[in-house]
Amino acid sequence: MEEPLRDSRTLAVQLRDRIADLIRSEGLKPGDKLPTEAQLTQRFKISRPALREALKLLEQDDIIYVEHGRGRFVSALSAVQVDRPITVFESVTDMTRHYGYRPVNKVLSISEEKPDKRLAEDLQLAQGDRVIRIERLRLHEDAPILYCVDYVPRSIIPTRLFDIDWSGSLIALLDTYRNRPRMSAATVSAVLLPQDVVERHDLGDFGPALLIKEICFNAAGVPVNYAIDYHRGSHFSFSLTRK
């Protein structure tokens, strides 16, 4: 019998990973049929809505596919083993924990600002709209591993800035305001930290970084966050598949 799902990740993400593990442990091959929803809910002791959300995530990742009237099947992509697909959408905190790190979030600055033209376009803001800028550093055992800047439309979070604990998950915070990010469009590049950031925060030993810039969208397709994340190159690697 499977143990209940209990960790810091969202239930759907936990269940997605457990079903992916099931596919591997049961030796299911591309084209094999996945157990039915009834069998999976019984096995994982989970509700049907949570299961369906997890199955949608697996379908989005092309691990399974659906044939209407016949069921869900294991896809060819499931046979491609990747350590950490860069296409996975999750919170930075969840991602770092997947790598085995115990992240500590340090808030460097919080401010309300007028967005520049490009940011206003990316977040689909109206003239005069403002953004919240959150600058944070993630550390593992006192070593900086991520430098992050996030921009959130001020209209989403009308609460006074100093009344909010910004050290936790931004995805979880946006969820409390009914604007949880569900997907993103991202660009990736290999860079160094900007020199002003290095000097301001004493990050001279950070080294090369993998920079991911992404616009995050809620379930209705509205942009709710523009994220700029510098992953320390000595601590992260991502995999990808091509199809």
- The reported pLDDT for the residue numbered 19 is 92
- The reported pLDDT for the residue numbered 92 is 84
Where in the chain do CATH 3.40.1410.10 domains reside?
Answer: 92-232
Q: Which residues are CB-contacts of 203 (< 8 A; sequence separation ≥ 6)?
A: 144, 147, 193, 197
Residue 2 has pLDDT above 80, yes or no: no
Q: Which residues are CB-contacts of 221 (< 8 A; sequence separation ≥ 6)?
A: none
Name the residue type at position 215: I
Average pLDDT over residues 190-195: 97
Pick the CATH number of 11-79 from 1.20.210.10, 3.40.50.10490, 3.10.20.440, 1.10.10.10: 1.10.10.10
pLDDT band for 85, please (50, 70, 90 cuts): low
Q: Which of 209, 226, 208 is nearest to 217 (CA)?
A: 226
Where in the chain do CATH 1.10.10.10 domains reside?
Answer: 11-79
pLDDT band for 8, please (50, 70, 90 cuts): very low
The percentage of the chain sitting over the pLDDT mark of 90, rounded to a whole number, equals 63
Q: Are 40 and 32 in contact (CB under 8 A)?
A: no
CATH entry 3.40.1410.10 includes domain 92-232 = yes
